[in-house]
Structure 1
Amino acid sequence: MASGASHVVLGPAVGLRRSVRYRLLNPVRYAVDLAAASVRRGFRGDARGGRILLASDGQSPTSEQQFAPFQRYRGRLQNDLGIVQAHLLVTDALRLAPRMLSQFDAIVLKLSFQTPAECALRIVQQFRAKAPAARLVYFDGDDDLCIQWPAVLDAVDLYVKKHVFADRAAYQRRYIGKSNLTDHVARTAGVSFADDPIPCSGPIDPSSLEKLMLGYNVALNSDVLDLYQRSLSAGPVERDLDIVCRMNVPEDDWMLAMRQAAVSAMEQLAGRHRVVVSTGRLPQEEYHSELRRARICVSPFGYGEICRRDFEAVLCGAMLVKPDMSHVATEPNIYVSGKTYVPVRWDYADLPEKCERYLSREAERRRIADAAFAVIHEYHSSGAFVATVAEMLRRAGWRGGPVAGPAGRSRPEGGRA
């Protein structure tokens, strides 16, 4: 392809739905929003607001969810920040004439993690060449904390991740495999990544880390937000399951080294408590029903530290137990030790003791579960996402107006850039 984007073959129905969404519905929304913004400025006498182009390849539905809150809060972004947005496929965006692409003040780009490194950099460079005045922001949708494409970090104005190392010095270390988690299993379980597509990663140039910004995590995914809305009106339920731990344990994947330890620790509890430890998948509604019956949810690491299960458990009222997260910074932050979750060792040696402690202290279990829910509720009710977008544009170098952040709102504590 001329754009340099990787090619994915889609089924006819999927391809048609994607084409209708990106090539018909999204452009129509943008045109309507532009017209409404023009009328609003005429009445208010406002200066021209900002225009954002969201450009993604549409290849990974999970990763695409990083853009979901832009659509959900489209009206708030217009009203509070004066921002109008368009969302196009990368290939379609790069077909736009330079004068059309240059109408955008910021181009926010995201690509599938399967994109070859040289292809990802070439796409970034093409956007830079066609719209040199636009601020270029990359959204990293990877599960882990590390930076897959350091060259992309160097080439953009701002690089936004869902979660980052709490200690930025960790980016100046070298890791075996793609991340700190692959490095951990390599050193503790002898797993080799010599033949992996990314046999090692890091260190990152300290000067480039100034472009790294903490964004928001999977709490803003559409399905998690929908669960949050339903949870607000959910009534009390009988919690007849003590512990739930439902996860995939792939035999031929490096995750096995971490997750098998969790399974072994859970099996120690099975004879004394009502425990569900399963590698089987349930339909989403059945899974949420199971979590609503659980007092504790154990959530192991996967390809990254944070997963949707963490937030589903909290929104269903279960207390979250998880390997120690003190090295992670994220928003909304439901990982405050002893306050919003209970940390265990990465080898799960203390998991039985920790679970039994809180199974015998229902008031404490309930307090932690409720506090975690309150963190998510506060994030959504405070306008934090809109504040994050305002901060993103400021950090990227946006000099137009009237982007200033919603009145009376700021990024939550811990959401540092």
Structure 2
Amino acid sequence: MHKIHILTKGFQSPNGIAFLFPFIVYRKELADCGIQTKFFTSIAHPKLCDCDVLFIESRSVSHRWEVEGDQAVLMDLSRLAESVPLVWFDISDSSGWLQPQVLPFVRWYCKGQLLKDKSLYMKKLYGNRLWADYYHQSFGATDSTPARNRVLTDPSRLGQLRLSWNSGLANYSMYGPHIMGLRRFIPINALFWLPKKFVPSNSERTVALSCRMGTKYERETVSYQRKKIQTLLKDRLSTRKLSRRAYYQEMRETRLVISPFGFGEITLKDFEATLCGATLLKPDMSHMETWPNLFVSGKTILTHSWDLSDFMEKLSMAYSCPHQLKTLAECAQQTYREELEKKTSEIGFCNRVVSIVHDTVSTIEPDAT
């Protein structure tokens, strides 16, 4: 049995909840695979390093980078690395925005979505996101306060980047996020359970299109795509947000749900729409890899180009190709259902954790200084 400790900020954000969720719901399955886990919220806890491998969730120290500076945080990581092998879990939203400064102190840098072309992590991208850089370079979108570039400078470190799991392993049913959020205040693991109900994609759908979204972001490069889509839709449908009940009711009746990028390529709407049996229309995602992967263009979702040149054409499929959309939604639901089910978790989530642990304990010491 391998003892894994997890340093986490806890159940304080959707990303944090989604990171911890599978460790709770698949706890028995992990134990059957020889993995025992325990959560810690303090880097100073005396028992933190009493384990075989220490997983560090990036949000557990995120508040310290700006306040204390890199050196203070890295000194703590160096101290921990002297006692136990470290694995870093970046739970930020996008495939970009690495924290390469931690790489000398950890065995693996795990992330739920990664750029397929890893060499891009060695280039300065405006806004630290590939699509933000695209909208800046191609259309002049500019942030009032540009993000600080974090660029990986040592190509040998690219081999430490590793795909983990995205936010999909959680409960995005109608009341799921509210119930999961209670775990922050009520330490009862029974608040976490897997969504069971998938609305059949072949049900009668009376709404062709849905696009409920916000457009107010502090970064223009993030909001640019959404604002352009909102403009294209202004004479077709409202993008105003609804109550959660009304939002879910609409998606259950919708054939095509438009889901632009936000701070990351993947949004919670993607999983909500899949549960509701709607087909997703998203910007091209061929630049990245993720798991669970519900984002295969032409197989599980529809995609449009980043410049939106084919956006209106793809919208028309909600009217002209309902049977094709039904097939895509069914495939997305089948993929999602298989990855969530406990009986298949051993070859999904559990296998990923076991592989990370095995590869960590079998590697040589990092060159932490």
Q: Please name the residue that 1:380 is paired with.
A: 340
Instruction: Name the structure 1 match of 2:57.
Output: 110
Percent identity between matched residues is: 26
The aligned counterpart of 2:188 is none
Q: Which moved more, 1:305-314 or 1:174-183?
A: 174-183
The answer to whether 1:157 aligns with 2:110 is no
Kindly report which structure 2 residues correspond to 1:17-416, keeping only aligned pairs within 5 A, or say none: 49-58=1-10, 60-65=12-17, 66-79=19-32, 81-89=33-41, 91=42, 93-96=43-46, 100-112=47-59, 113-116=62-65, 119=69, 122-123=72-73, 125-130=75-80, 132-193=82-143, 195-196=145-146, 198-223=147-172, 229-232=195-198, 237-250=203-216, 253-254=219-220, 255-267=222-234, 270=236, 275=237, 277-283=238-244, 285-381=245-341, 382-383=344-345, 384-398=348-362
Quote the offset at 1:189 in angstroms. 3.3
The change in CA–CA distance for 1:119 and 1:105 in structure 2 (over 3 A counts) is: farther
The one-letter amino acid of 1:353's match is E
Offset at residue 213 of structure 1 (A): 0.7
Q: Distance in 1 between matches of 2:247 and 2:362?
A: 43
**Unaligned 5+ residue runs, structure 2?**
178-193, 364-369
TM-score normalised by structure 2 residue count: 0.83
| CA-CA distance at 1:236 after TM superposition | 6.5
Distance 1:316 1:350 in 2: 25
Distance 1:242 1:61 in 2: 32
The question of whether the paired residues in 1 share the 8 Å contact of 2:87 and 2:109 is answered with yes
The residue identity in structure 2 corresponding to 1:83 is: I
Larger radius of gyration: 1
SS of corresponding position for 2:286: coil
For structure 1, the 5+ residue unaligned runs are 1-48, 400-417
Q: 1:205 and 1:131 mapped to 2: Cα distance?
A: 20
SS of equivalent to 1:338: coil
> TM-score, normalized by length of structure 1?
0.74
Instruction: Please give the alpha-carbon distance, in whole angstroms, between the structure 2 residues aligned to 1:63 and 1:252.
Output: 19
Secondary structure of 1:343 counterpart: strand
The 1-side partners of 2:80 and 2:164 are apart by: 26
Deviates more, 1:219-228 or 1:322-331: 219-228
- 1:54 deviates by 0.9
Quote how far apart the aligned CAs of 1:202 are: 2.2
Q: Work out the CA distance in 1 between the residues paired with 2:246 and 2:26.
A: 29
* Residue aligning to 2:187: none
- CA, structure 1 residues 133+158, in 2 after alignment: closer, same or farther (shift >3 Å)? same
| SS of equivalent residue, structure 1 residue 95 | coil
**Superimposed CA distance per residue, residues 266-292 of structure 1 (whole angstroms, 9 cap, x where no aligned partner):** 235x2xxxx4x3232422x33222111
Once the two structures are TM-superposed, the CA of residue 183 in structure 1 deviates from its matched residue by 1.4
DSSP-derived class of the 2:110 partner: strand
Shift, 1:67, TM fit? 1.7
Please tell me the residue identity of whatever aligns with 1:171. Y
After superposition, the CA RMSD in angstroms is: 2.6
Shift of 1:95: 3.1
Aligned partner of residue 128 in structure 2, secondary structure:
coil
Give the match for residue 408 of structure 1: none
